[in-house]
Amino acid sequence: MLHEDMCERYKDILSMMIPDWVLDPFTSLASDLVTYQEELIEMQANEELNPKIKGGYTSSAGNPTRS
């Protein structure tokens, strides 16, 4: 009786599809790290970004002043 009542009451929650990264967030880290490493390699090899990266934060931000 209680089991049936709980199943009826929470059927929307029980029918939810929960992504794997929510259930076990540490198993999907390996593939994410590879993706980030590939993006970093692409950014480091980008000829347009190299001067901005080597110039630091101030050259790309326009040296904003605070008031």
pLDDT at residue number 54: 73
Q: Which residue ranges make up each domain of the chain?
A: 26-59
pLDDT at residue number 33: 76
Q: In angstroms, rounded to a whole number, what is the distance separating the alpha carbons of residues 13 and 7?
A: 9
User: For the segment 2-54, what is each residue's pLDDT rounded down to a tens digit?
Assistant: 999 999 999 999 999 988 778 887 776 766 777 888 888 888 888 887 777 77
pTM across the whole model: 0.34
Locus of tokens 């794997």: 20
pLDDT at residue number 10: 94
Is pLDDT at 67 greater than 50 in this prediction?
A: no
Q: In angstroms, rounded to a whole number, what is the distance separating the alpha carbons of residues 2 and 20?
A: 30
pLDDT at residue number 55: 72
